[in-house]
Structure 1
Amino acid sequence: MRSERGWLLRAAVIETGVAAAAAACPDVPLSALLVVGPLLAAQRLTIRATAAFAAVASLLVLAFPAVVRDTVPPPSVQDHAVRVALVAFCGVWAVLTARDRTLSKAALERMTHLAELSQRALVRPLPVELGGLAMAVRSRSASEGALVGGDLHDAVLMPSGPRLIIGDVTGHGLAAVRLSAAVLCAFRHTAATEPDLVRLAHTLDDRVRAELGDEDFVTLLLADFVPGGVRMVNCGHPPPLRVGRRLEFLDPPNPSPPLGLSPTPSLHTIRLSCEQRMLLYTDGLTEARDTDGTVITFDRGFRAALSSPVLDEALTSLVDLVDRHTAAESTGDDLTLLLVQPTPEFLTQPCPRVPKQQAATETDEAAAK
């Protein structure tokens, strides 16, 4: 609104200046420059405002001979008619331009609104707590103006507890969004009815394989949170980070290729107490580099950021840390951070039995003892 008022003031001042100059120098044919006002109005102002400028310009050029008749001889009828026709034609052209611009702007706003709604439906916000698991999320796309990109995440509540997914597809832009949507749709269609994480990973691979090109793949991490621990299947995704007295990378004992590259998912289980947190992330974090090309380090400052009392504040501190490391420049990659922590009430629930097909491996049982 302020920009429109400023533009209106500029156009009015210029139109007034042209009219005053034409009246002050009647022997110089400046009246034809009255078209400047309507043409300026057409760039930013409404159709009505542009039409008003066009009408005023036409009236001024039409009345010009009467204004200067006592100063200089009036222009010939032919010259005067040409000037009036020129100003009137440019005024009509300005009104049509303003009309087309207004219609195009309205159409763009509608399409932008629809695109934003579609993106928000694709990456729906997660609750701050799901089935006794506190959560906080930060996600941003490397594509300017986009809410989503190649990263994906979601959560559903299973009978055994919360189930989370985080992944990263190859590429950027619309192609990456299309693949992310395919993975999320497959997850939402099957996650609530498939208790076996290994079978779920195979199902997702089968569902999205038709959407993948020859060089496309999807790194994926599936996690089922149960009292006292987390069951995970990792298909080529960066290992989660357990935050406690120290930072621990939870690497899978049997690494698997990503989806689309013949994955071999296997289940492994880790301990997680209510004093500990788990950070799930995409490679936008591990590949955050400073101006010298040095990647971010998971040092004491990193742990201090993740140890803030509130999960949301912890992620805010972590994002600020990443931005300071990269000098607030774009890393060229999407970034998704998902920080979770079980509540004390969650740990008091009975631990569900592990299905026989889920041969869980206690990767850190010795460390827990």
Structure 2
Amino acid sequence: MTVKKSPSAFVALSWMPVAAMTVVVVGDITAGPGVGLLPLVSLGPAFAGLVGGWRRTALIGLVALLLCVGLGMYNGLFDRPRGYTAMVSVAGVTGAGIAAAVMRSRREAELASVRSIAEAAQRVLLRPVPLTAGPLQAAVSYTSALAEARIGGDLYEVVASPHGVRVIVGDVQGKGLAAVETAARVLGTFREAAYDEKDLTALGERLERSVARELEDEKFVTAILAEIGDDHRVVLLNYGHPAPMVVHPDGTADFPEPPAYALPLGLAAHGGPAPDPYAVPFTPGDQLLLYTDGVTEARDEQGAFYPLAERPHLLEDPDVHRALDALREDLVRHTAGPHHDDAAMLLLRYQGHGDGGAAGPVR
């Protein structure tokens, strides 16, 4: 998310050059001839170069030069070098302010271009999840730890495959472009394998091979895979990822843990056990929240972690998107500031089978 100046702050900054020159003129006239505060008039174009465009900076510089001439005549400074030195000073500051305004405008244009590219990358990498997939409604929330970024190292996807609705939520070790590149590779493999592989374990093995080929220096990706069919259960495959939260219609919640924790994707060469799939009841009215550790490890001002287990009631809204928005807003209130890690949440609500696109059985 991008931090923007408030309108009132921008207005105050834009009027600062005029205010500075006004104070100098009033102070000089009040002090009387002989004091000579005219060099301080250069504060006007100096402030203008920090806020306005080059045309506005040049206009304020011209006004500053005229004021310098007027104050110099009022103080009788043009019969000695001091008056001309002050004019040269104002002209020099104006030129520097114009140069600064031009450079700032170019940087803002470059930043706008980078933002548009980031938004296009987000649409490709973290494209919107389908509103419905088989018997499910889906909603997603993503917050990057980088203030100017739209994407980071967290990843998610929902695929309505012939073998059931298949889902992944993951977290790439590290941040920045390298994490984004790894996330793109994992998502690309998942989107293809979700259709091809009949077995969820085979899908996980394919992801492991893809990640192991590309990652170096013991980099890894924690991930959880889920498969929902029409037999009222969800099959999970956990690669060192936080356990999901299953919220029942009565408001209670469970965090189903795997039989044994496996290493994250990319670390199979270390000889750890492969994850075992495990099934959890998932019936109409239930909700499944998959998330990254940026949610549960978010801290408040006292250092306390976000108490996700105490927040199932926030998901009661009949609209799945409003329900997830309520949870996200509560997370933001808890941190009371910028996130220090990417935070992704994917909410699946079992609404019952629709007329079309029903998921196939879990195998």
TM-score by length of 2: 0.80
Task: List gaps (5 residues or longer) in structure 1.
Answer: 359-369
Q: Tell me which amino acid in the other structure corresponds to 1:12.
A: V
Deviations 1:60-88 (A, max 9, x none): 334556x54xxx76632644433333332
Deviations 1:270-314 (A, max 9, x none): 43221322222223344455636467373xx53433444333343
Number of equivalences = 348
Over 3 Å counting, the alpha-carbon distance change for 1:330 and 1:276 in structure 2 is same
CA distance in 1: counterparts of 2:70 and 2:339, whole angstroms = 62
Partner in structure 2 of residue 11 of structure 1: 17
1:51 is displaced (CA, Å) by: 0.7
Q: Which moved more, 1:313-322 or 1:86-95?
A: 313-322
Partner in structure 1 of residue 56 of structure 2: 49
Q: For residues 49-68 of structure 1, what are the structure 2 equivalents within 5 Å? A: 49-63=56-70, 67-68=73-74
Q: For residues 92-131 of structure 1, what are the structure 2 equivalents within 5 Å? A: 92-131=95-134
Aligned-residue RMSD, C-alpha: 3.3
Contact 1:38 1:51 in 2 (8 A): yes
Contact 2:134 2:358 in 1 (8 A): no
Answer yes or no: is 1:206 the counterpart of 2:209: yes
Partner in structure 2 of residue 335 of structure 1: 343
Residue from 266, 269, 272 that aligns with 2:282? 272
Partner in structure 2 of residue 305 of structure 1: 314
Partner in structure 2 of residue 151 of structure 1: 154
CA distance in 2: counterparts of 1:327 and 1:53, whole angstroms = 43
Answer yes or no: is 1:259 the counterpart of 2:265: yes
CA distance in 2: counterparts of 1:292 and 1:350, whole angstroms = 45
Answer yes or no: is 1:185 the counterpart of 2:194: no
CA distance in 2: counterparts of 1:175 and 1:114, whole angstroms = 16
Over 3 Å counting, the alpha-carbon distance change for 1:351 and 1:23 in structure 2 is closer
Q: Which has the larger radius of gyration?
A: 1
Contact 2:140 2:324 in 1 (8 A): yes
Contact 2:165 2:359 in 1 (8 A): no
1:349 is displaced (CA, Å) by: 8.0
1:152 is displaced (CA, Å) by: 1.3
CA distance in 2: counterparts of 1:9 and 1:273, whole angstroms = 61
CA distance in 1: counterparts of 2:136 and 2:326, whole angstroms = 21
Answer yes or no: is 1:90 the counterpart of 2:93: yes
Deviations 1:137-174 (A, max 9, x none): 22323444433333211112212332211112223444
Identity of aligned residues (%): 33
Contact 1:170 1:176 in 2 (8 A): yes
Runs (4+) of structure 1 exceeding 6 A deviation are 347-351
Secondary structure of the corresponding residue to residue 217 of structure 2: coil
Q: Tell me which amino acid in the other structure corresponds to 2:342.
A: D
TM-score by length of 1: 0.79
Deviations 1:29-48 (A, max 9, x none): 33333222111211111211
CA distance in 2: counterparts of 1:126 and 1:9, whole angstroms = 46
Task: List gaps (5 residues or longer) in structure 2.
Answer: 1-6
Partner in structure 2 of residue 365 of structure 1: none
Contact 2:160 2:359 in 1 (8 A): no
Answer yes or no: is 1:136 the counterpart of 2:145: no
Answer yes or no: is 1:345 the counterpart of 2:345: no
Contact 2:218 2:267 in 1 (8 A): no
Q: Tell me which amino acid in the other structure corresponds to 1:31.
A: L
CA distance in 2: counterparts of 1:34 and 1:256, whole angstroms = 68
1:52 is displaced (CA, Å) by: 0.9
Partner in structure 2 of residue 165 of structure 1: 168
